[in-house]
Structure 1
């Protein structure tokens, strides 16, 4: 699934990944957002990994890029999630190019510019963010939450409504008057992803940065979830690495241990082996899902029905992977403490970050609802939900009359 292009890319980025890994624990303990780490990746060209070579990128497939994302998540899972919105926006441009000339955007990203995300809105739900004006005089006003990565970015991929109620996707320059980005994410895991509030107050939008929402690339829901699969796999690898290191170096042992040294205790070794095995399975699962994403990208040149059929399969593959990894990885990485003593809970070791991070990633797009989607397709042939929302839902007897809030698309 990975070959010479991945080998060349990982060789290119390995020094940066090693620097990021060396800073991960200190960043976690001091809650220092990875501005510097993102800049290292920007300078190295990481954000252009998917962009074709002729436009200045590495030209990686999703199978190749996924292996690289797992490597980055192993170094620091916060950093890879902070780039999730960027790679989704790059994919949207690639999907339409060259049928529509998106080379200007792709060259921006190849030159090192990065994007964040701003889709979800706080409160009852719905899209209250408005794109106003006409011609060259366009402004964006609204408030978003879960704007992952935007605090590090040059551009923000946002969803809004025109005054007539139609949905649009807009790309907003992040560094301008009228855009305020807050670091107010208070989750117990993935604390350094830059996931917080972004406020647009008459922010300027260029006319060539407005797109009909319905024109977005068809497999975007699967790709957003796929990024979480790669992140979970990387967390599992990091936990396996740390578990092995801790067991190898541990000198204290209980009198009723199975060996004088913990490193020779078969129960401790089995626990480390279990975590490593889950990391292996998580990576293999993410790579299998990556093949489905590549198939969906290739299907853009097929007729509409054939492309839709591929996208259904892609959505189901990423959903099934999510259902399994969302429970398997948090359980495995939490077992790191079973191989060690109470000293492993020391804050200075920050071993708890693996479980906290995995559990937080697993809360996105609840896996229980995805399991229902997979089961409904298997039993009833019901197609998966490609775009959904969250908010206060209308009562069943009022839904047909339009009562309740319109959920925001996420």
Structure 2
């Protein structure tokens, strides 16, 4: 694969110029502004399963999709604690939109860790210009999520790729579709293919009952051709040395679940205060004064704040591991992220379930669409089994066993 660093980077037209965000504080302020716009029709988009093309345009034009680009390439290089909070803010407004750039940021870190200087310069500039990276990673029907059938075969100065992907979150909205494929020696690479590549097609056949507007459907790769300069090592991000690629991908997922939980708690508060009736045996005039409701809501608030703290802590651990990536720092970051993922999974499911219980029968009416919070939480938290997070955390603290390094996301 020596040609990877020697060939010229591929060219595609620029997307409409994105704004340039300079620092963490600005990123958070812009995120709140964008979230307000995205929240307006979020329930209706879910109900109608209307794909958010216009909303994704607003989101990426804001400059938020470029905030993880390193400063030396013109980006803000915000902390990963900030990136997680930005994701949570957007996900509270619309978790489907919050999930869509997850693989975008994941691939930016693959480039940071494994890309050549030329590849970094080219693709980081694309991200800063407002172009989006989708996802053609996972496949259905393989033994595990880490098994791949998609092949990468040399062809002249470049490569041919054949295979079928599913769960292609973001691919429908992307200018670039990163594809994980294996070479003849089973080494994995990522090929950054233009969405306009002949033989590449993305079909919106995602039928999940939650996260309905992520466009997470099928990507077909019919012997497509990519230049050598578009191919970046992938296995090496996990096998060759400790890197933050895995923890960063997981951290963003935790932030999506945190956003879902925040939205569910906020809707529970609003509905109980404004619409719910007190139970006849409570002896109170307002549902919000029911002591049993107060107890349950207090527990939700406590769980939510604990999850928020764990996500922020995990972001700081990831930041430390980015600055100095050793087996121990990456393991520490991975465990912190695993704790955050466990906590956000639990509160997202708990809050979206308790919302209906606390709000009462009215909350089940289709006109309110409050079940979307549970549907989104139940769907997104299946991304990888949280039960294995507890095993990794327990083994680390009890037996000093470092967690496995892999890209299962």
- How far residue 254 of structure 1 moved from its aligned partner, in angstroms, is 4.1
2:68 pairs with 1:43: no
Shift of 1:222: 1.4
For 2:338, the equivalent position in structure 1 comes to 319
Match of 1:240, SS state, is helix
Instruction: Show the counterpart of 1:223.
Output: 248
Q: What SS is found at the alignment partner of 1:191?
A: coil
- For 1:366, which of 357, 372, 385 is the aligned residue? 385
Give the match's secondary structure for 2:113. Answer: helix
Q: Give the Cα–Cα distance (whole angstroms) in 2 for the partners of residues 343 and 171 of structure 1.
A: 48
Equivalent residues, number: 381
1:140 aligns with 2:161: yes
Matching of residue 186 in structure 1 with residue 207 in structure 2: yes
Q: Which range moves more in the overlay, 117-126 or 36-45?
A: 117-126
Q: Which residue of 2 aligns with 1:343?
A: 362
The answer on whether the counterparts of 2:278 and 2:290 sit within 8 Å (CA) in structure 1 is no
Query: How big is each residue's C-alpha offset from its partner over 1:105-136, in whole Å with a ceiling of 9 and x where there is no partner?
Result: 11110000111122221113432111223343
CA spacing shift, 1:211–1:135, aligned 2, 3 Å: farther
Gaps of 5+ in 2: 1-21
**Within the alignment, does 1:118 sit opposite 2:136 as a pair?**
yes
TM-score (norm 2): 0.86
Per-residue deviation, 1:82? 0.9
1:89·1:115 contact (CA, 8 Å) conserved in 2? yes
Q: 1:246 aligned to 2:271?
A: yes
Could you tell me how far apart the structure 1 residues matched to 2:305 and 2:29 are? 21
Name the structure 2 match of 1:295.
Answer: 320
Structure 2 distance, partners of 1:13, 1:323, is 25
Pick aligned residue for 2:191 from 170, 188, 196: 170
Summarize the Cα distance change of 1:14–1:210 in structure 2 as closer, same or farther, 3 Å threshold.
same
Deviation at 1:384, TM superposition (A): 1.2
Q: Does the CA contact (< 8 Å) of 1:229 and 1:321 recur in 2?
A: yes
Query: Structure 1 regions of 5+ residues with no counterpart?
Result: 301-306, 389-408
The residue correspondences of 1:195-210 to structure 2 (distance < 5 A) are 195-210=216-231
Distance change in 2, residues 1:21/1:276 (3 Å): farther
Cα distance, 1:308 vs. partner? 1.7
Alignment partner, residue 6 of structure 2: none
- The CA deviation at 1:315 is 1.3
CA shift at 1:322, angstroms? 2.2
Task: State the distance in 1 between where 2:293 and 2:402 align.
Answer: 45
Equivalent position of 1:77 in the other structure: 95
Listed one character per residue, the Cα deviations across residues 303-332 of structure 1 (whole Å, up to 9, x for unaligned) are xxxx12211111111122223332233123
Distance 1:98 1:131 in 2: 19
Aligned-pair CA distance for 1:145 = 1.2
Q: Is the 8 A contact 1:267 1:339 kept in 2?
A: no
Task: Give 2:232's aligned residue.
Answer: 211
Task: Tell me whether 1:280 sits opposite 2:305 in the alignment.
Answer: yes
Report the aligned-residue RMSD. Answer: 2.3
Kindly state the Cα deviation for residue 336 of structure 1 after the two structures are TM-superposed.
0.9
Answer yes or no: is 1:261 the counterpart of 2:286: yes
Distance 1:23 1:386, change over 3 A: same
* Aligned residue number for residue 104 of structure 2: 86
Q: Provide the C-alpha distance between the structure 1 equivalents of 2:233 and 2:360, rounded to a whole number of angstroms.
A: 56
Is the 8 Å Cα contact of residues 236 and 278 (structure 1) preserved in structure 2?
no
Q: Distance in 1 between matches of 2:66 and 2:283?
A: 51
What are the superposed Cα offsets for residues 202-258 of structure 1, whole Å, 9 maximum, x if unpaired?
222121111222333722221221112111111111112111111221164443343
Contact 1:97 1:103 in 2 (8 A): no
Between the aligned partners of 2:114 and 2:158, the Cα distance in structure 1 is 25
How far apart, in 2, do the equivalents of 1:225 and 1:277 lie?
23
SS for the counterpart of 1:40 is helix
Counterpart CA distance in 2 for 1:203 and 1:276 is: 50
CA distance in 2, matches of 1:267, 1:321: 28
SS of structure 2 residue aligned to 1:239: helix
Native 8 Å contact 1:48 1:112 kept in 2: yes
1:119 touches 1:158 (CA, 8 Å); kept in 2? yes
User: Helix, strand or coil for the counterpart of 2:235?
Assistant: helix
